[in-house]
Structure 1
Amino acid sequence: MSLLEKQPNSSSEFEVDSNHNLQQDAHLDSKIRTLRFLDAGRAAATLLALLMGLAVLGTTGHALQAYNTSRFDASSGGAAWLSMWPNNSAFDVKPTVALVVGAALVVLANIIALTSHHRFVRAKLSVAHTPLTFSAPFVGLVAAIVAIILFYVANRSATADTLLSWSCRWRHLTTASPAPQFASLCKASHAGVDLAILLIPVEFIAFVLAGVELKLQRYTAAYTNARKTPSPMLS
């Protein structure tokens, strides 16, 4: 009778353990689904930031190249229209340079972030996600913010014109090639600034998603390793 009495207890303990394991599996599956969702969202935000960074680099780089080409041609002489650019003391090109450098850093950081995403997206959960996926969007965010700050600080000068202010002031002036087309330079400069401003929230979203993903991945890895470790009660 004593053996028959123990059998129901053993069966009930087994059922409790099985239900507990199923609950643990459901918890782990939920974390994995959330991790995949965060990873996909971060990749999308990173790709968007990369495309926007390339657009900023292309527009501002085009405007800066047009100015440098005509300015260097001015030193060789022989073209009357070259005097349409102000002299160095009344012209500040640093705001545009700041946007170009900032956009280049954003592009580089997001390329690294996308490379790390492709590299670790299928990694085992027991291996923590590289901090590179967190640091890369942080660098891109800082680069975008610093570029905009430097642009507006330099653009507030009351004594010197910038490439944006000068080209937009003379945007209605029609010039013959190869003279600079101020209307296109004005549009390119404005587009670069607007895209750089919009780039900040995109980089912030990628940065936040990367941080949450990194934290959740470390938790999931620790949780998985804890489940693989035998319990002292069972040994």
Structure 2
Amino acid sequence: MSLLEKQPNTSSEFEVDSQRRHEQDAHLDSKLRTLRLLDGARAGATLLALLMGLAVLGTTGHALQAYNTSRFDASAGGAAWLSMWPDNGAFDVKPTVALVVGASLVVLSNVIALTSHHRFVRARLAAAHTPLTFSAPFVGLVVAIVAVILFYVANQSATADTLLSWSCRWRFLNTASPAPQFASLCRASHAGVDLAILLIPVEFAAFVLAGFELKLQRYTAAYTHARKTPSPVLA
């Protein structure tokens, strides 16, 4: 009689345990789906940051190259438009250089992040994947902020012109080749600065998504480990 009384309890415990396992599987599947969504969103933000970094590098690099080429050609050939560029003491090219260097570092960090996202690299550098995906957008964010700050601090000088201020001041001046086209340089300089500013929230989004992804990865790893660990048998 006592055996018959225990059978319903054993069956009930089995059903409860089965239901609990089913709920745990559904919970883990939900977390894994969220993790995949975060990973895709973070990779998309990283790719966008990379493209914007390339655009900043292209526009500001073009402006800087045009300045260097025309300045050196003028000094070598003794062109009549040599005075179109101010003297070194009244001209500061460091803001544009800061954007070029900053964009180069942004491109490099995002290329590393996207490379680590690839399955082939992730399978062989599993331990480095998570730190790279988290540190790369952080580096890009810091570099973008510093480059924009340096640009605006130097561009506010009342004693020295920058490539942006000088080219935009003379943007309506038509010059013959190979003299610099100030209208083109003005547009390129403005585009580089605007894209660098827009790059900051994109890098911030990639950084936040990487942070959530890292947190969820740790949670799912701990949760999976806890499920695989057998519970102690009570006497």
State the TM-score, normalized to the length of structure 2. 0.95
Establish whether residue 4 from structure 1 lines up as the match of residue 10 from structure 2: no
Superposition deviation, residue 6 in structure 1:
1.1
Alignment match, 1:94: 94
Deviations 1:60-105 (A, max 9, x none): 0000000000111122132111220001000000000000000001
Map residues 54-65 of structure 1 onto 2, 5 A cutoff: 54-65=54-65
SS at structure 2 position matched to 1:131: helix
Give, as a single letter, the amino acid of the residue that structure 1 aligns with 2:101. V
SS at structure 1 position matched to 2:47: helix
Alignment match, 2:18: 18
Alignment match, 1:68: 68
Alignment match, 1:213: 213
Map residues 149-160 of structure 1 onto 2, 5 A cutoff: 149-160=149-160
Deviations 1:137-175 (A, max 9, x none): 000000000000000000000000000000000000001
Q: Following the alignment from structure 2 to structure 1, what is the Cα–Cα distance between the partners of residues 128 and 33?
A: 17
Map residues 88-167 of structure 1 onto 2, 5 A cutoff: 88-119=88-119, 130-167=130-167
Q: Following the alignment from structure 1 to structure 2, what is the Cα–Cα distance between the partners of residues 208 and 219?
A: 17
Alignment match, 1:50: 50
Q: Following the alignment from structure 1 to structure 2, what is the Cα–Cα distance between the partners of residues 107 and 161?
A: 28
> How many residues are matched?
233
Q: Following the alignment from structure 1 to structure 2, what is the Cα–Cα distance between the partners of residues 152 and 25?
A: 53
The verdict on how the C-alpha distance between 1:8 and 1:121 changes in structure 2, with shifts beyond 3 A counting, is farther
The answer to whether the Cα contact below 8 Å between 2:116 and 2:129 also exists between their aligned partners in 1 is: no
The verdict on how the C-alpha distance between 1:174 and 1:120 changes in structure 2, with shifts beyond 3 A counting, is same
The answer to whether the Cα contact below 8 Å between 2:75 and 2:82 also exists between their aligned partners in 1 is: no
Give, as a single letter, the amino acid of the residue that structure 1 aligns with 2:117. H
The verdict on how the C-alpha distance between 1:11 and 1:116 changes in structure 2, with shifts beyond 3 A counting, is same
Alignment match, 1:27: 27
Map residues 217-232 of structure 1 onto 2, 5 A cutoff: 217-232=217-232
Q: Following the alignment from structure 2 to structure 1, what is the Cα–Cα distance between the partners of residues 63 and 128?
A: 44
The answer to whether the Cα contact below 8 Å between 2:47 and 2:114 also exists between their aligned partners in 1 is: yes
Q: Percent identity?
A: 87
Q: Following the alignment from structure 1 to structure 2, what is the Cα–Cα distance between the partners of residues 27 and 184?
A: 57
Q: Following the alignment from structure 1 to structure 2, what is the Cα–Cα distance between the partners of residues 187 and 137?
A: 28
The verdict on how the C-alpha distance between 1:118 and 1:230 changes in structure 2, with shifts beyond 3 A counting, is same
The RMSD of aligned alpha carbons is: 1.8
Task: Mark the runs of 5 or more structure 2 residues left unpaired by the alignment.
Answer: none
Q: Following the alignment from structure 2 to structure 1, what is the Cα–Cα distance between the partners of residues 57 and 167?
A: 18
Task: Mark the runs of 5 or more structure 1 residues left unpaired by the alignment.
Answer: none
Give, as a single letter, the amino acid of the residue that structure 2 aligns with 1:160. A
Alignment match, 1:82: 82
Superposition deviation, residue 130 in structure 1:
2.0
The verdict on how the C-alpha distance between 1:127 and 1:153 changes in structure 2, with shifts beyond 3 A counting, is closer
The answer to whether the Cα contact below 8 Å between 1:129 and 1:218 also exists between their aligned partners in 2 is: no
Give, as a single letter, the amino acid of the residue that structure 2 aligns with 1:15. E
Give, as a single letter, the amino acid of the residue that structure 2 aligns with 1:132. L
